Amino acid sequence: MNKPEARRHWRQQRRLAMAALGPTLVEQVRACLGELQRPGHLGLFWPLGSEPDLLKPTPTWEGGLALPRCEPSGLVYAHWRVDDVLAADDCGIPAPQGPPLAAEAIGLLLIPALAMGPAGQRLGSGGGWYDRLRAQSAWRQVPTLAVLPERCCGVDFACEAWDVPLQGWISEAGLHWCNGAQC
């Protein structure tokens, strides 16, 4: 299956799984956050389509929260509080307008995925925003976990040379580390 076909297939699988799961996946993410607590911001994402909504209720994270913003230069993260006014970024996604945070200010990134391979390969929606961000040396050092249904985890799909593996994922089945990686 080529990447466009894989995206169609796994987008449908994620949609079906999310409809069946209800709040179970988000509750599992919340349960894992205590184990994952570390200095720095928790990088989240604005949910699109069938992506899990980790923003409601707002998670608690000692170092604060951050959301991404698409800019002409690429993806950046900015500090976010639930009462902040958001504005559409260059992709039309609601995003905080504060100054970009350095990679060192982020303790953990949680990002969406359509599917995950067993060694941490992530199949995303195809924009390449997270791969380009994580291709930067400093951002590659930030522990990054995908959030998606178990049905979409540990599966095979075609990867490209620019695909940057993640350290693991969180599904309704819990936290899974790839290749012995941990925060």
Model pLDDT for residues 3-32, shown as the tens digit of each residue: 899 999 999 999 999 999 989 999 999 999
pLDDT at 97: 95
Q: Burial, 117: exposed, middle or buried (Cβ in 10 Å; 0-12, 13-18, 19+)?
A: buried
Q: 3-177 domain in CATH 3.40.1280.30?
A: no
- Residue showing tokens 């902040």: 84
Whether residue 18 contacts residue 86, with contact meaning beta carbons closer than 8 Å, is answered with: no
94-95 vs 87-88, strand pairing mode: antiparallel
Band (pLDDT 50/70/90 cuts) for residue 2 is confident
User: Residue 60 gets which letter from DSSP?
Assistant: P
Measured between alpha carbons, how far is residue 121 from residues 2, 39, 42, 126, 163 in Å?
15, 26, 21, 14, 7
Report yes or no on whether pTM surpasses 0.75: yes
pLDDT at 160: 82
